[in-house]
Amino acid sequence: MTGVWRTLGGWEKAVAIGAISVMSLLPVIEMVARLLGLSGIPGSVVFVQQLTLWVAFLGAALAATGDRLLSLSANTFLPEKWTIPTRVFGCGLTTAIAASLCWASFQFVVSERTGGKMLALGVPAWAPAVVMPVGLLLVTIRGIRGAGPKGSHRLAAALFLLVPLALAFAPPPAGALVLWIGIPVILAGAVLGVPIFATLGGVALLLLWSVGQPAATVPDNAYSLMVSDVLPSLPLYTLAGYLLVEGGAAVRLLRVYTALFGWLPGGLAITTAVGCAIFTWAGSGVTIVSMGGLLLPMLVKAGYPQRFSIGLINGSGSLGLLFPPSLPVIFYAVYAKNVHIDALFVGGFVPGLLMVSMVSAWGVLQGIRSGAERSRFSFTDARKAVWEAKWELAVPVIVLAGLFGGFSTMVEAGAVTVVYCFIVECLAGGGFSVRRDYPRVALECVTVMGGVLLIIGMAKGLTYYLSIMDVPATLTNWVDLHIHSKYVFLILLNLVLLVKGSFMDVFSAIIIMVPLIQPIAARFGISPVQMGVIFLANLELGYLTPPIGMNLCLSAYRFRLPLSLIYRATLPFYVILLVGVLLITYLPALTTWPVEWLGF
């Protein structure tokens, strides 16, 4: 049996690597053909969108293999004797929800086949969608296998499959009893470590079932979002970020920032803030996990206190969320629909600089207090460092040219960035091997993005329930009756988004919250660009909000320290960034003036 799983895993990995590789090449070929006046590859755009679906569900299955599906908690607060029972419960609940979603996805594929819709080159629409039930079936099986080493543990987890089986043959409930039982159980599971996708998907299935909607509604909404025009750019830009990090670009860029800022008081702290901000577009987790191990010893060796150094890395881990080509900005603009991506990047630039400057200023003050070492400025060293990192320094230019130059679509710009980073790290960097490193990096990217994209898909199902129940209109009417001041609304919005950001990833928060707040913001005359920047800045701070902000959990994992110590280390930076968020919220000129000045 072990050999069967090993063979299956090998094919699974090979297909996943092939999917992300092909979807990186097709848009580049299409763009070059268009610029040369050629016809290009028929249906390439459609196939790239469908490959995003494969990256999502194969990546989720791979993440389930290594117990890497994103969750809200790691169970570290429980006594050791409760570890096994909690794991069995969490894996069993995940298994039950994944199996329900698998069956719902199968029903969706059957309906697509019945509809007879075709994609391109004679490929039926249902064929690529088969990966949805297959991927969720693998997640289900691996949920059972992950319950523990003993057969009794796995059997106990498998018994949870009786719950969706019983509900499948039960009529829709006349009352809310199933919701009152099921949703608290799922939320308790989330606190105990059930993956976020299972939490959102389970709640969505129960809510839709309670109002007579078919289970296939959840995968239907996930499918429509994942094969949209712009969503493929998320895994592409993420792959580009991984290529840069694994190719040693972080080290070369840190040399540049150290050479430019190291002579200043607190120069290394400034370098940390700027360097992390540059790499945040590839994901806050990538920044902390990949650069944290490099930066912490440097800061401590230079004389900065360890607690301050850890807090600085945490606080800087999401500083670049508003800068191009930030994936959350792209996703917000796509999902909000009433704001252009370029306008949102322009509006977020000054607020982003404000946040970086505030963190850097605190770093300068601590550098002076602690007597941290400073290097002498050398024009020769700076020039040498810039020359060694010239290809990586050109990445933002490549990205911006693709985004704003009119040469490519969003997906094509992401694919060009991937190809450019691949060439740079293989040829110019010299430390990246196509045969040795690329499969590992591509597989890591697919695994991480699979977990994220599956969460996004499940969140879309939950949003569908909110829309059919007319929750946005109800909330708008409530605000009209009880809140008459724009500033009171903004205060409440700050509080809600900070809490939301502390236990929900930024992408699912965008899907669930944007439809609720957009109409209310419009009633108060808040511009779509300002609303987007406020939203993203609050979620940026949510990464640092206890008890389980993402940066806090990743830092505890990376530095192998208890969360209580991470909380104390991060608190000063939380306060600083909170002040920044309030300034961004209540001084709209920081956002709107650059947009108006440039005519967006």
Cα–Cα dist 219/213, whole Å: 12
**Band of residue 59 on the pLDDT scale cut at 50, 70, 90:** very high
Torsions phi, psi of 349, nearest 5?
Answer: -65, -50
**Band of residue 140 on the pLDDT scale cut at 50, 70, 90:** very high
Tell me the pLDDT tens digit for each residue of 63-110.
888 777 877 655 555 566 777 888 888 899 999 999 999 999 999 999
Q: What is the pLDDT of residue 97?
A: 94
pTM of the predicted model, to two decimals?
0.82
Q: What is the pLDDT of residue 100?
A: 93
Tell me the pLDDT tens digit for each residue of 447-470.
888 887 888 888 888 888 888 888
Mean pLDDT calculated for residue range 382-397: 84
- DSSP calls for 462-529: HHHHHHHTTHHHHHHHHHHHH---HHHHHHHHHHHHHHHHHHS-HHHHHHHHHHHHHHHHHHTT--HH
Tell me the pLDDT tens digit for each residue of 187-237.
888 888 888 889 989 999 989 888 888 889 999 999 988 888 778 888 888
Q: Return the closest-CA partner of residue 446 out of 595, 251, 235, 250.
A: 235
Cα–Cα dist 444/20, whole Å: 11
Cα–Cα dist 345/351, whole Å: 10
| Domains of the chain, residue spans | 2-226, 233-598
Query: Of 42-56, 83-97, 470-484, 567-581, which gets the smallest average pLDDT?
Result: 470-484
Contact status, residue 547 vs residue 348, Cβ threshold 8 Å: no
Tell me the pLDDT tens digit for each residue of 406-425.
677 778 888 888 998 888 88
User: In which element (H, E) is residue 359 found?
Assistant: helix 341-370
Q: What is the pLDDT of residue 414?
A: 84
Q: What is the pLDDT of residue 134?
A: 94
Cα distances (Å, whole numbers) of residue 357 to 327, 349, 369, 515: 22, 12, 18, 32
- Among left, alpha and beta (phi > 0; psi -120 to 50; other), residue 199 is alpha
Helices and strands (H and E) in the chain: how many: 29, 0
Question: Taking all residues of the chain, what is their mean pLDDT, rounded to a whole number?
Answer: 82
Mean pLDDT calculated for residue range 501-530: 81
Q: Does the CA dihedral 136-329-444-125 come out positive or negative?
A: positive
Q: Return the closest-CA partner of residue 561 out of 80, 74, 90, 189.
A: 74
- DSSP calls for 411-442: HHHHHHHHHHHHHIIIIII----TTTTHHHHH
Contact status, residue 54 vs residue 128, Cβ threshold 8 Å: yes
Q: What is the pLDDT of residue 482?
A: 81
